[in-house]
């Protein structure tokens, strides 16, 4: 294959890629946004949230785990795909306790920002209001599982970057939940520190640093000032600058 053949086409836009890149990485590097919640530059992909589903021919693939291959004709920004993404986002809202006006994460929450991006105006589905364990045992970090969307970003960050393997996802289907890898199951008995990537990567309000709430006023937070599309492209560019 020659260098000139190393391109894919997303919504009729020619996108270059390098060997080993996923569709997601190639797209973001070229300034083409594919919605996502569980993808983070520098972490191995997991394909959990399914928001990044794109179409190639008559099949759907998760852009964060599908390899870019020369000649691919990919559909990303279509009414049908965006409607499916909005439905997934609505389900994520009702499957947890996401009360945006009273949440400390409001304005910094990727789930909230994704809802705005996709034009979500209501939950559509009945609320579950699940009762899930809150772990306030750690002196510096709060774990509120009722807001967890099972993206497993904290799992991958702790395992692959922090090298501490603090978290895991246990159970299947509706029984899936985040666990702490300690004999007691409590965060206080883990080696986790508030400076760890795992403590700061949660896209929602499931993991919060204690005594930092509302340091930045509502209205001046990340997604109050920029869209999730802008931040997604910025994060990819920052990761590339590290290389």
Mean pLDDT across 19-38: 96
Dihedral angle sign, alpha carbons of residues 36, 95, 205, 160: negative
Asked, for residue 90, whether it belongs to a domain, the answer is no
Is 95 within the bounds of a domain?
no
Strands (E), 103-166: 134-135, 141-144
Q: d(Cα 189, Cα 123) in Å, to the nearest integer? A: 37
Short-list 8, 2, 47, CA closest to 28: 8
* 119 class by beta-carbon count within 10 Å (0-12 exposed, 13-18 middle, 19+ buried): exposed
> 1 pLDDT exceeds 70?
no
**Does the pTM of the predicted model rise above 0.75?**
yes
Q: What is the CATH number of the domain that holds 62?
A: 3.10.20.740
Top-confidence residue, 130 or 39: 39
Q: Are residues 21 and 42 in the same domain?
A: yes
53 assigned to some structural domain: yes
Tokens of 209: 């640093």
Do 116 and 220 belong to one domain? yes
- Contact yes or no for 37/111 (Cβ under 8 A): yes
The 10s digit of each residue's pLDDT in 132-165 is: 899 999 999 999 999 999 999 999 999 999 999 9
Lowest mean pLDDT among 20-29, 173-182, 185-194, 233-242: 233-242
Residue with tokens 């009702």: 94
43 shares a domain with 151: no
Residue 89 lies in a domain: no
Number of domains in the chain: 2
| Separation between Cα atoms, residue 164 and residue 177, nearest integer Å | 19
If you average pLDDT over residues 220-243, what whole number do you get? 90
- Whether the CB-CB separation of 145 and 167 falls below 8 Å is answered with no
Two tokens, residue 127: 């609320």
How far separated are the first and last CA of the chain, in Å rounded? 25
Residue 171 and residue 105 in one domain: yes
Confidence of residue 5 (pLDDT cuts 50, 70, 90): low
Q: What is the 3-state secondary structure (H, E, C) of 156-167?
A: HHHHHHCCCCCE
Same domain, 37 and 117: no
Residue 229's pLDDT is: 96
- Whether 151 and 220 map to the same domain: the answer is yes
Residue 83 in tokens: 């409607």
112 and 221 housed in the same domain:
yes
What is the model's pLDDT at position 124? 87
Tokens, residue 65: 């785990």
Q: Are residues 150 and 206 located together in one domain of the fold?
A: yes
pLDDT at position 237, please? 87
Beta strand 134-135 with 141-144: parallel, antiparallel or unpaired?
antiparallel
Please say whether the beta carbons of 70 and 6 come within 8 A. yes
Could you report the per-residue pLDDT of 93-138, keeping only the tens digit for each?
A: 999 899 898 899 999 999 999 999 999 988 888 888 888 899 999 9
- Domain housing 180: 100-225
User: How confident is the model over 213-233, as a mean pLDDT?
Assistant: 93
Cα(227)–Cα(160) distance, integer angstroms: 28
Residue 238 is assigned to a structural domain of this protein: yes
Co-location of 38 and 55 in the same domain = yes
9: in domain: yes
Residue 189 has a CB neighbour count (10 Å cut-off) of 14
Please indicate, yes or no, whether residues 113 and 198 belong to a single structural domain of this protein. Answer: yes
Q: Judge whether 91 lies within some domain.
A: no
Domain of 122, CATH number, reads 3.30.70.20
209 lies in some domain? yes
Based on the fold, state whether residues 55 and 120 are members of the same structural domain: no
- Give the mean pLDDT of 197-214: 95
Residues 15 and 50 in one domain: yes
């Amino acid at each position: 294959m020659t260098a000139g053949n190393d391109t894919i086409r997303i919504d009729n836009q020619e996108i270059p890629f390098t060997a080993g890149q996923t569709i997601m990485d190639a797209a973001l590097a070229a300034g083409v946004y594919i919605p996502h919640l569980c993808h983070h530059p520098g972490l191995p992909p997991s394909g959990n949230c399914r928001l990044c589903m794109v179409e190639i021919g008559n099949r759907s693939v998760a852009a964060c785990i599908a390899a870019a291959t020369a000649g691919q004709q990919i559909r990303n920004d279509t009414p049908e795909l965006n409607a499916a993404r909005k439905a997934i986002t609505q389900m994520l809202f009702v499957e947890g306790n996401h009360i945006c006006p009273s949440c400390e994460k409001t304005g910094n929450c990727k789930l909230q920002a994704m809802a705005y991006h996709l034009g979500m105006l209501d939950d559509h589905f009945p609320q579950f209001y699940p009762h899930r364990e809150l772990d306030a045992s750690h002196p510096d970090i709060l774990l509120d599982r009722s807001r967890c969307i099972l993206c497993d970003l904290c799992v991958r960050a702790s395992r692959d970057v922090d090298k501490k393997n603090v978290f895991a996802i246990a159970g299947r289907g509706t029984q899936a939940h985040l666990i702490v890898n300690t004999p007691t199951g409590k965060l206080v008995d883990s080696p986790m520190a508030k400076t760890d990537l795992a403590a700061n990567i949660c896209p929602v309000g499931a993991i919060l640093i204690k005594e930092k709430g509302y340091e930045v006023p509502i209205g001046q937070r990340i997604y109050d000032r920029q869209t999730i599309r802008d931040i997604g492209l910025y994060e990819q560019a920052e990761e590339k600058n590290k290389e």
